Amino acid sequence: MCGRGQDMAFPDYCAHCGGPVVLPPTAAPLPRPTGLPGMWNHAGRLPVTPDTAWLSMGEGGTPVVPAAAAAGWCAVEHLMFKLDHLNPSGSFKDRATAVGVAQAVWQRAQAVVCASSGNAAGSTAAYAARAGLPAIVLMPEAVPPGKAAIARAHGAIVLRVRGDYSNAFRAARELAARFGWINLTTTYVNPVAVAGLKSAGYELADQLAQTPDWIVVPVGAGPLVHGIVTAYREMRNAGEAAALPRILGVQAEGCAPIADAFDRGAAEVAPWQEVRTRISAISDPLRGYPSDGSYTLRLVRETGGAMATVGDAEAGEAVDRLAHREGLLIESGAAADLVAVRALRARGTIGADETVVCMLTGHGAKTLATGAEVGGPVVADADEAVDRLRAHTAIAEGMTV
Ligand SMILES: *Cc1c(COP(=O)(O)O)cnc(C)c1O
Ligand SMILES: [Zn+2]
């Protein structure tokens, strides 16, 4: 944030200003695509080499599809989804983790550690397993159980830290410093891993005919904002992209430190006092590292973008809408994008004819309720099934049973 150079031997916050440290952008002309699958196609522009491509499980290269039904609901004509929930461990975090684990292999680290609200944990655990490295994962006490179970299924050591995400963050940072482990927490704490998120921006430019007017990004600390904006800036400097997309950052009403600073017109983000939301993927109070938020806020403003907040109930409705009408099972933190687009369209911030791409960052399977009670009724045979079907108005009205 202060523009001064940093020693990268052990990644941490800036020694001068305490702000986040990021790698310098790749200089023009940008290296050409490698032809390798997924994210490794842009290895030349990321801190990885084709030597570590064996680590890949197909991260990146996710589809962009039209939002058939949601476009009408949002009153936006050109609405698209980038299906980043289709990354190997079910979230965009794999873009950062794959690069961070490649770094750990290259530096011969003994282990990797991360703090996670859920998705980084599963991602770190999976890639560490593939690399043959132990993974230590620290999660907030109230983490969705399915997400902790996934990390454990990959053999990670999972500890829940009392309190919210920021407490887990502090513990992971301390362990990394004490033992020389690579910290894969997906705030800005690891600039090498964060650089992996630029891949999303390169792909969007490859997939879309033109730079979209808006890219909608769910935001905890905001490294994905940095990744997309940096990628478009690099491509613009190299003459590959004509414009910079505006970023619409989305936070939960019950934990919105960056959106709050945006609304106040403040340059500095203040830590959020008390987390009051169940949208776990984006509830980061930034306690101890508010400058992460200030950096993200600056980027959003530099794109001419905006921040929006979404309530738990609305996000839940967006989850249902995506699952029922688009066939997309998406977790609340990412489904929240839709609510934000609809709200900003209604306010006139987003124009009816503007092109909008929502980053669908996380799969909904990990946060589904499980257990016998959600499995549906049990019937003995076809006759009993017909009795049950008659009770469904959708079927009773539309067809004969
Ligand atoms: C982690 C996460 C985010 C937010 O990412 P930050 O790096 O915290 O800004 C958004 N959506 C999903 C599904 C996530 O897992
Ligand atoms: Zn600095």
User: Is residue 284 lining ligand 1, measured as CB closer than 6 Å?
Assistant: yes
pTM of the model: 0.95
CA of 336 to the centre of ligand 1 (A): 12
User: Is residue 223 lining ligand 1, measured as CB closer than 6 Å?
Assistant: yes
Share of the chain above pLDDT 90, in %: 81
Q: Give the residue whose CA is nearest to atom 2 of ligand 1.
A: 281
Least confident of 10-19, 45-54, 165-174, 378-387: 10-19
Q: Which ligand is nearest to the CA of 361?
A: 1
Q: Tens of pLDDT along 77-102?
A: 999 999 999 999 999 999 999 999 99
Atom of ligand 1 nearest to the CA of 361: 13
Same domain, 187 and 203: no
Same domain, 129 and 269: no
Write down the residue that tokens 């052990």 correspond to: 10
Q: Which ligand is nearest to the CA of 12?
A: 2
Share of the chain above pLDDT 70, in %: 96
Domain's final residue, options 193, 214, 229: 193
> Would you state the structure tokens that stand for residue 21, as one six-digit string?
């440290």
b/e code 326-338 from CB counts within 10 Å (16+ = b): bebbbbbbbbbbb
Q: What is the pLDDT of residue 233?
A: 98
Same domain, 117 and 234: no
CA distance 166 to 168: 5
Q: What is the pLDDT of residue 397?
A: 61
CA distance 308 to 305: 10
Measuring CA to CA, how many Å separate 355 from each of 19, 78, 122, 166, 352? Answer: 33, 5, 32, 35, 9
For the segment 259-288, the average pLDDT, to the nearest whole number, is 95
Which residues, in sequence order, are CB contacts of 376 under 8 Å at separation 6+?
A: none
CA of 282 to the centre of ligand 1 (A): 5
Task: Compare 372 and 264 and report the one with higher pLDDT.
Answer: 264
Q: Examine residue 55 and state whether it is found in any structural domain, yes or no.
A: no
Q: Tens of pLDDT along 139-160?
A: 999 888 888 999 999 999 999 9
DSSP assignment of 184-230: --SSSS-HHHHHTTHHHHHHHHHHSSS--SEEEEE-SS-HHHHHHHH
Q: Which long-range contacts (CB under 8 A, 24 or more apart) does 261-268 make?
A: 261/293, 261/294, 261/297, 262/297, 262/300, 262/301, 262/306, 262/307, 263/307, 267/294, 267/297, 267/298, 268/294
Q: Tens of pLDDT along 369-398?
A: 766 567 788 899 999 998 888 887 666 566
pLDDT, the chain, mean: 93
CA 33 and chain centroid, separation: 24
Query: Confidence band (pLDDT; 50, 70, 90) for 210?
Result: very high
Least confident of 89-93, 129-133, 321-325, 396-400: 396-400
The answer to whether residue 10 scores a pLDDT higher than 70 is no
CA of 342 to the centre of ligand 1 (A): 21
Which residues, in sequence order, are CB contacts of 148 under 8 Å at separation 6+?
A: 118, 121, 139, 158, 160
User: Is residue 59 lining ligand 1, measured as CB closer than 6 Å?
Assistant: no
Query: Confidence band (pLDDT; 50, 70, 90) for 105?
Result: very high
Q: Tens of pLDDT along 21-64?
A: 999 999 999 999 999 988 999 999 999 988 889 999 999 999 99
Same domain, 99 and 77: no
Q: What is the pLDDT of residue 144?
A: 83
User: Is residue 275 lining ligand 1, measured as CB closer than 6 Å?
Assistant: no
The answer to whether residue 8 scores a pLDDT higher than 80 is no
Q: Give the residue whose CA is nearest to atom 1 of ligand 1.
A: 281
For the segment 275-290, the average pLDDT, to the nearest whole number, is 92
User: Is residue 195 lining ligand 1, measured as CB closer than 6 Å?
Assistant: no
Q: Tens of pLDDT along 211-224?
A: 999 999 999 999 99
Mutate to test the pocket of ligand 1, among 83, 119, 289 (most ligand atoms within 8 A of CB): 119
User: Is residue 84 lining ligand 1, measured as CB closer than 6 Å?
Assistant: no
Same domain, 145 and 287: no
Query: Confidence band (pLDDT; 50, 70, 90) for 401?
Result: low
CA of 339 to the centre of ligand 1 (A): 17
Give the structural domain span for 271: 64-90+197-367
Same domain, 231 and 301: yes
User: Is residue 186 lining ligand 1, measured as CB closer than 6 Å?
Assistant: yes
User: Is residue 109 lining ligand 1, measured as CB closer than 6 Å?
Assistant: no
CA of 120 to the centre of ligand 1 (A): 8
Same domain, 212 and 310: yes
Query: Confidence band (pLDDT; 50, 70, 90) for 16?
Result: confident
CA of 304 to the centre of ligand 2 (A): 24
- How long is the chain? 401
Q: What is the pLDDT of residue 305?
A: 98
CA of 11 to the centre of ligand 1 (A): 21
Same domain, 276 and 149: no
Could you give the number of structural domains in the chain?
2
Domain's final residue, options 161, 193, 225: 193
Same domain, 80 and 150: no
Question: CATH number of the domain that 335 lies in?
Answer: 3.40.50.1100
Domain's final residue, options 193, 209, 244: 193
Same domain, 212 and 80: yes
